[in-house]
Structure 1
Amino acid sequence: MSATTPTPHRATSARQMLNKVPEVTVWFWIIKVLCTTVGESFADYINETLGVGLVRTSVIFTVAFVLALAVQMRLRRYVPAAYWLTVVIVSVTGTLYTDILTDQQGVPLWISTTLFSVALAAVFGVWWARERTLSIHSIVTTPRESFYWLAVLVTFALGTATGDWTLELTGWGPGKSVLLPLALIGIMAALWRYGADPVLTFWLAYILTRPLGANIGDWLASPSDEQGLGLGTFGTSLVFLGAILATVVYLTLSRADVIEEDDDRTAVLAPPPRRDRRRERVSLAVIGATAVATVALLAYADSRPHVNALDAEEGNTPSCSDGSVSASGAQSGVRAYPSSDVDRFRTISQDTLDLVRSGDQSGASSRATDLETAWDDAQGRLVAEDCATWTYLDREVDDVLTAVRASSPDQKTESDALDTLLTTLG
């Protein structure tokens, strides 16, 4: 997918350089997704695993972004190492800005998505008004490069907000959540091949690579009981940093993504290529229909009982979008759960009840801890199977733990809570 709509406007009025961005080949999209993935996982590693904190991590990467961008802006041609280092850092920085709004300021994700959409439209509007092109094949002046990097920063923030909002609405796990942005990027690529506006399809795909890369990173880093591959944030970061390094070395040596000097100069001065307006209108209609279908899919997923995927990812107690279910409904839901899990809960609950009735409060408390551990271990499987039933049972498990661990336990309260849980468990 490529953005190939050059224009002579203002090209001779500012400091001339060779094109400062790579040719849009398959290598461009591969390394872009790699950068996005490592940006997500590395930020999580520094912020959460090392305990640096969100604000301090944001400050660190903002400073790093300014320094990397200063080096990139001083160059007069595309240099793979400098360019892709800047992309990696800006991917982290844009993500952190959205996280600050969400986690520190409590701004809802739909508001963040709206704000960054308006901001991106404003950047593109000013860019177009000044330069009469949004093509990345025309980044040959300092003003155009400034607009380009500002747009890239906002696309990462927007992609973060949109991707997180999607997870909040749907509750999809890390693996499943990869499919939607991957499918949408595939549609953009097909439309570009068909004859859609190349600049429009490029920037739409560019935005979508952020949730795709982040979801891939979450899928690789998440533990197996959360439907991930269990590499961890540090392991995922190392794998993708190595892949980025190998790709950058290859591109530096092969120059496979360099826009040649002669091509660059003629692109700036030549008239834009002829475009099929009919195909562009058809493609625009398909993009609109795809947007409507995507909204409908998200609305349907939001209407179904599900866990808040962001809460689960951050280790918070999941909550379903519709946790209301009757006692008989919960008993029916339990039958869909893995029998090994249900049998284990029943055995531990019955043991706890027997210990309560025999007056062994210490033993009952210890066995209740076993119940809590088993319940937490099975959470990922049960939520994915039926979140509403999980929510119903979770309240009953909490009632048992509260009764058994009370400072002055009441045997009747304990027995009633355990009897209720055993009844629901069948």
Structure 2
Amino acid sequence: MTSSTRIGTPTRAQRVPDPDGAFWVVKVVTTGMGETTSDFFVHTFAPELVVPVAFVVLMIALVVQFRARAYHPARYWTAALMVSVFGTMAADVLHVGLGVPYAVSTTGFATVLAIVFLVWWVSERTLSVHEITTTRRELFYWATVMTTFALGTAAGDWTAMSLGLGYLGSGVMFLVVFAVPGVVYFATRRAAIATFWFAYVMTRPLGASFADWFAMPGVRGGLDVGPGPVSAALFVVFLVLVGTLTIRARSVRRDRPAYLTGTEGAA
């Protein structure tokens, strides 16, 4: 590890994306794909094998992300996708494997998220995604992302199953709740950080609820397409979106100074 990437020291460039419109679209796609991909593998293969493998792949994806000099869509969104898959598995293990009620796991993950935010704020005095310019801040960022995925999975299952809203009903509800922070921000131009993270948490149950609605059998209120086909379809959409973002990012990097893109001194 070089001095430029040592924990707490500045990195060459920010390695996470700004939350524009494309960011939210890809984010929702990854949440839905993470939900159905997790279900497909866990129900097709032994969970004792699948969960550790998913964890190892997640760690590899995060290492690749942290070794990047700057934001690269393929690296970042691959890591985000693996967080989605493993976060779903982690939440499901608590309920299916250990019998923890969804209300309890939702409350537990919400508490963990609050603690992560508190420690992040005390340490860095900022929770802004526009200021992820040190390795330590990026560690806080990914810890937050992981927790929001687990929280969103538990919350989506809680509303769909325990509260009886069903997958479609939950999806519509979370779509409305997801839109509220955006309306508040554009109307007031205030609380940008709070509205961002609130919306970010909501993307998980939003994408997962609609993906489950397509994938789950009719007896559970779904369209019975199956988690495998839904995952495959979403993966194609994911590849197209990330490919488009990669082309756009390369175009932007060509027009920016090297010290802003992390390519200064690169071969």
- Which residue pairs with 1:169 in the alignment? 162
Structure 1 residue 231 displacement after superposition: 2.0
CA distance in 1, matches of 2:23, 2:14: 15
Matches within 5 A, 1:86-105: 86-105=79-98
Give the SS at the match of 1:19: coil
The alignment's TM-score, normalised by the length of structure 1, stands at: 0.56
Count of paired positions: 250
Superposition map of 1:404-415 within 5 A: none
What letter matches 2:137 in structure 1? R
Q: Over aligned residue pairs, what C-alpha RMSD do you find?
A: 2.1
Aligned to 1:276: none
2: distance between equivalents of 1:83 and 1:45?
Answer: 23
Alpha-carbon separation, structure 2, partners of 1:258 and 1:188: 29
Tell me which residue corresponds to 1:217.
211
Q: Which amino acid aligns with 2:23?
A: F
Task: Determine if the alignment matches structure 1 residue 25 to structure 2 residue 20.
Answer: yes
Which of 117, 134, 137 lines up with 1:141 in the alignment?
Answer: 134
Counterparts of 2:219 and 2:251 in 1: how far apart (Å)?
40
Q: Which has the larger radius of gyration?
A: 1
Q: Give the corresponding residue for 1:125.
A: 118
Deviations 1:299-324 (A, max 9, x none): xxxxxxxxxxxxxxxxxxxxxxxxxx
Within the alignment, does 1:58 sit opposite 2:36 as a pair?
A: no
**Partners of 2:213 and 2:23 in 1: CA distance:** 22
Structure 2: how far apart are the matches of 1:261 and 1:108? 50
Within 2, Cα distance between the matches of 1:33 and 1:162? 15
SS of the equivalent of 1:134 reads: coil
1:87-136 deviation line (CA, Å, top 9, x unaligned): 00001111111111111111222221222111111111111111111011
Q: Gaps (5+ residues) in structure 2?
A: 1-7, 261-267
Contact between 2:39 and 2:227, CA under 8 Å: does it hold in 1? yes
2:37 pairs with 1:42: yes
The aligned amino acid for 2:70 is R
Equivalent AA in structure 1 for residue 19 of structure 2: V
Higher relative contact order (CA 8 A, sep 6+): 2
| 1:194-233 equivalent positions in 2, closer than 5 A | 194=187, 195-224=189-218, 226-233=220-227
Question: Do the aligned residues in 2 keep the contact of 1:178 with 1:215 (CA within 8 Å)?
Answer: yes
Tell me the alpha carbon deviations over residues 265-322 of structure 1, each in whole angstroms, 9 at most, x when there is no partner.
7xxxxxxxxxxxxxxxxxxxxxxxxxxxxxxxxxxxxxxxxxxxxxxxxxxxxxxxxx
Q: Deviations over 1:31-71 (max 9, x none)?
A: 001001111111111111x2x23333221111111010000
In structure 2, C-alpha distance between the alignment counterparts of 1:256 and 1:169, rounded to whole Å: 46
Task: Measure the CA separation in 2 of the matches of 1:29 and 1:218.
Answer: 19
Report the secondary structure of 2:69's partner residue.
coil
Identity value in percent: 39
SS in 2 for 1:17: coil
SS of equivalent to 2:223: coil
CA distance in 1, matches of 2:152, 2:227: 20
**Counterpart among 239, 251, 254 of residue 233 in structure 2:** 239
Check conservation: 1:119, 1:154, Cα contact below 8 A. Answer: yes
Q: Is 1:15 equivalent to 2:10 in the alignment?
A: yes
Match of 2:144 among 143, 151, 162: 151
Q: Distance in 2 between matches of 1:33 and 1:156?
A: 11
Which ranges of structure 1 fall in alignment gaps of 5 or more residues?
A: 1-12, 266-426
Asked if the contact 2:160–2:169 (Cα under 8 Å) also holds between the matched residues in 1, the reply is no
Cα offset, 1:161, TM superposition: 1.4
Report the alpha carbon displacement of residue 177 of structure 1 after superposing the two structures with TM: 1.9
Q: What amino acid does structure 2 have at the position aligned with 1:230?
A: D
Paired residue for 1:374? Answer: none
Give the distance between the partners of 1:214 and 1:240, measured in 2 at CA: 12
Q: Which residue of 2 aligns with 1:70?
A: 63
Alpha-carbon spacing, 1:149–1:185, altered in 2? closer, same or farther (3 Å): same
Sort the Cα spacing of 1:93 and 1:257 in 2 relative to 1 into closer, same or farther, 3 A: farther
Q: Write out per-residue CA displacement over residues 359-393 of structure 1, whole angstroms, 9 at most, x where no aligned residue.
A: xxxxxxxxxxxxxxxxxxxxxxxxxxxxxxxxxxx
The whole-number CA distance in structure 1 between the counterparts of 2:219 and 2:152 is 27
Cα pair distance change 1:104/1:90, threshold 3 Å: same
